[in-house]
């Protein structure tokens, strides 16, 4: 479905540009707690890419904001199309490795192809089939895609239904998943829509 060579530096530079636009839009909003101004306050991440996206490991800053009013300092981390919550692997790799795990016949073949342990890919597949199917992004995507994607084949069934080539479909799915990448910005999907 995807050629790992496509997930090179240019792909992640594009995702970084989208994330920069998201944080720029979020910075225009006042602090939810006190109404103070929000300023950039990025923090380091150590993203992993496995064998699918070694280039992703060079993009290690998570864009974030912090209230500038003394006494508040509330942190707001807008949604991201690069990271999938607190997972150490970048979001694109979580999606692709899960799709590979669904397609491969043996666990050792998955490890050889992705460079990610069997235990990790199994945990991701449980999340895709369990908690993810009750999330708002999945419900919204299922409503837009008629007939609804097969739950037992997620994320592959989602990727197959999106338009474009492999990297474009992957970017679109990451944009749909962006709202679940943070808990400090519950209405963050509006920032993603404006940045895409």
Residue 17: which pLDDT band, with cuts at 50, 70 and 90?
very high
**In the numeric block, which tokens belong to residue 125?**
């597949």
Contacting residues for 69 by C-beta, under 8 A, at least 6 apart: 31, 34, 35, 36, 37
pLDDT of 109 over the 60 cut: yes
In the chain, the percentage of residues whose pLDDT exceeds 70 is: 93
At residue 63, the pLDDT reads 95
Return d(Cα 45, Cα 167) in angstroms, integer. Answer: 23
Specify the residue for token string 């080539």.
165
pLDDT of 126 over the 90 cut: yes
Buried/exposed code over 169-185 (b: 16+ C-beta within 10 A; e: otherwise) = bbbbbbbbbbbbbbeeb
Return d(Cα 144, Cα 132) in angstroms, integer. Answer: 16
State the SS3 of 106-145: CHHHHHHHHCCCHHHHHHHHHHHHCHHHHCHHHHHHHHHC
| Stretch 25-46: mean pLDDT | 92
At residue 179, the pLDDT reads 87
Name the nearest CA neighbour of 48 among 36, 37, 56. Answer: 56
pLDDT of 81 over the 90 cut: yes
What pTM value is reported for the model? 0.88
| Stretch 76-87: mean pLDDT | 91
Residue 66: which pLDDT band, with cuts at 50, 70 and 90?
very high
Give Rg (Cα) of the chain: 17
Name the nearest CA neighbour of 26 among 196, 192, 176. Answer: 192
pLDDT of 5 over the 60 cut: no
State the chain's mean pLDDT as an integer. 88
pLDDT of 11 over the 60 cut: yes
E strand segments, 52-117: 61-62, 65-67, 75-76
Is residue 164 helix, strand or coil? coil
| Spatial contact of 76 and 38, defined as CB atoms under 8 Å apart | yes
pLDDT of 1 over the 60 cut: no
């Amino acid at each position: 479905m995807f050629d790992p060579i496509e997930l090179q530096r240019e792909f992640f530079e594009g995702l970084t540009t989208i994330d920069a636009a998201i944080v720029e839009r979020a910075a225009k909003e006042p602090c939810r707690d006190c109404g103070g101004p929000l300023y950039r306050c990025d923090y380091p991440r150590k993203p992993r890419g496995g064998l699918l996206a070694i280039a992703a490991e060079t993009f290690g800053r998570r864009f974030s904001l912090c209230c500038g009013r003394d006494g508040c300092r509330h942190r707001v981390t807008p949604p991201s199309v690069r990271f999938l919550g607190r997972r150490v692997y970048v979001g694109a790799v979580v999606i692709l490795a899960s799709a590979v795990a669904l397609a491969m016949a043996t666990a050792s073949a998955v490890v050889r192809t992705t460079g990610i342990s069997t235990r990790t890919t199994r945990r991701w597949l449980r999340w895709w089939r369990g908690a993810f199917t009750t999330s708002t992004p999945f419900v919204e995507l299922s409503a837009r895609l008629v007939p609804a994607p097969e739950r037992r084949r997620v994320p592959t069934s989602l990727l197959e239904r999106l338009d474009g080539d492999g990297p474009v479909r992957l970017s679109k799915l990451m944009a749909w998943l962006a709202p679940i990448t943070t808990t400090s910005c519950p209405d963050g999907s509006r920032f993603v829509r404006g940045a895409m």
